[in-house]
Amino acid sequence: MTRTISANLKAHYAEQVRTIARCWQITRTDSTVLRFTNHDKNLTIGGQVYYALNSGRSSDIEAGDNLGVRTIDVEAVLNSSYVSAADILAGRYDGATVWIFEVNYESIGDSFVTLSYGYIGEVEVHDDYARCEFRSLSQKLTENIGRIYTYQCDAAFGDSRCGLDLDSLGYKESGTVASVTNRSLFGTSSAGGSEYARGRVVWTSGLNNGLAMQIKTFSGSSMQLILPMPFNVQASDGYTAYYGCAKTRSACIAYNNIVNYRGFPDMPGIMEATQTPDAR
């Protein structure tokens, strides 16, 4: 990656004593932007405040002349004012973009030098700190792009490829939480049925407002989710539950939507593909 560096900052790097601070700008998928620095005081750069993270560490940045994937491990103490465990568990940092650069904190006007661009990969939450993996942009070159042949439909039920409008078709039920067992099991004011299996619940109020989770079962007035919600589910929290789909050809026929079926149920398996003529 070509780097642009000002003459003053380049000269400062050549000095024996350097006053260099590393900065991170994180843009979450919900468009929230967070800015941090490893300096012991907050820095104002380009009119934006980069907050000092005094409790944390990061591994060194390794650069090469090839397209190999470079990763950096960053650990930081959880602080509800900046980075909270709840936001991490809610997935708000999944795929967040990251810009890493350095400045001379004694002479901010000397501009900056970009070290790397990338995004956040795996994130682990421990008792009082979080560890996240920064992945360089070259990671994208290792990802598979395009469709994969599968027996089941690979469209999300109700998306543009599926073609069904779940709202207009009435394939949903709205209600509120009546009682709570835990974050994944609770009683509801509305009644469900087998059609909600593999569906999803979207929260319309409460601590999980705007978040969604896959439904495991919704029978009678009891709903169980595949995974616990990141925040506590409370009585009177509003939700909208949507039907699910087994992603099979028969399920698509039942929904009168076979024209949009995206699976390949007639694709021969490995046994059929490797068969040879039988001499008998």
Domain match, 18 and 136 both: yes
Domain match, 138 and 30 both: yes
Alpha carbon distance 153, 267 (integer Å): 13
Q: What is the pLDDT of residue 253?
A: 95
**Tokens at 82, concatenated:** 């900046």
Alpha carbon distance 20, 11 (integer Å): 12
Domain match, 114 and 70 both: yes
Q: Per-residue pLDDT tens for 147-175?
A: 788 889 999 999 999 999 999 999 999 99
Alpha carbon distance 248, 271 (integer Å): 21
Domain match, 39 and 130 both: yes
**Tokens at 250, concatenated:** 């028969």
**Residue 255 in domain:** no
Domain match, 121 and 194 both: no
Domain match, 77 and 178 both: no
Place of tokens 């593909």: 273
Cα angle for residues 210, 204, 218 (degrees, 5° grid): 100
DSSP labels, 61-109: P---SS----EEEEEEE-BTTTB-HHHHHTTTTTT-EEEEEEEETT-GG
Q: Residue 204 to residues 183, 211, 214, 237: CA-CA distances in angstroms? A: 16, 8, 15, 7
Alpha carbon distance 218, 215 (integer Å): 7
**Tokens at 270, concatenated:** 């490995």
Which bin fits 111, alpha (ψ -120 to 50), beta or left (φ > 0)? left
Q: What is the pLDDT of residue 138?
A: 74
CATH code for the domain in which residue 181 is found:
2.40.10
3-state class (DSSP) for residue 144: coil
Q: Of 142, 161, 187, which closes a domain?
A: 142
Q: Per-residue pLDDT tens for 252-263?
A: 999 999 999 999
pTM of the full structure: 0.68
| Spans of the chain below 50 pLDDT | none
Alpha carbon distance 175, 237 (integer Å): 8
Mean of pLDDT over the chain: 86
CATH code for the domain in which residue 135 is found:
2.30.110
Q: Can you give the residue range of the structural domain that contains 227?
A: 172-242
Residues constituting the chain = 280
Residue 35 pairs with which residues in a beta bridge? 25
Place of tokens 């992945």: 135
Task: Count up the domains in the chain and report the number.
Answer: 2
